[in-house]
Amino acid sequence: MAFSIWMFSPSCNNVLLTKNFSPNALWSAFCEMLNSVVDLFVPSNSVSSQHRSKTRRYPRHVRNRIGRERVVWRHMRQNTDILQIKIKYKRLSAECRLAMRRYECWLEQRVIDSNEPGAFCKFVHSKSAYRSLAV
């Protein structure tokens, strides 16, 4: 509605017709005006072309450890001189890494124990960065 009112108003037609006498100049002025109207009235989203890595889902006990580690990290950043907080953060960080590694090993062991070639192929495809090149 707003576009049609603006585009076919007398002021818009006067600008197009009084300043552009050749067909090429008239066409380029029309395209310029149309692009500006599209920019004004058409909503748009910007899409990032960066590759987004797949976020890994961990079970609740691992997520709880990650949360505790994050809380202690914030305390450590605020209180850089307290040694006990640094020691606690290092201990929680090691526990968190170990829990994540154990979960990943459990996933791999589950694929091995299934004895299904399809499950193995699916696992390999999920780890591959180039899906079309995976076996």
Let me know whether 24 and 64 are in one domain: no
More confident residue, 20 or 40: 40
In a domain, 128, yes or no: yes
Let me know whether 27 and 72 are in one domain: no
Q: What is the pLDDT of residue 15?
A: 61
Report the domain count for the chain. Answer: 2
Is the pLDDT at 5 greater than 50? The verdict is yes
Position 131 confidence tier, pLDDT thresholds 50, 70, 90: low
Position 26 confidence tier, pLDDT thresholds 50, 70, 90: confident
Q: If you count them, how many residues does the chain have?
A: 135
Let me know whether 68 and 112 are in one domain: yes
Tokens of 112: 């091995």
Let me know whether 85 and 120 are in one domain: yes
Q: How far is CA 22 from CA 10, 25, 27, 30, in A?
A: 20, 5, 9, 12
Is the pLDDT at 54 greater than 80? The verdict is no
Range of the domain at 29: 2-40
Is the pLDDT at 9 greater than 90? The verdict is no
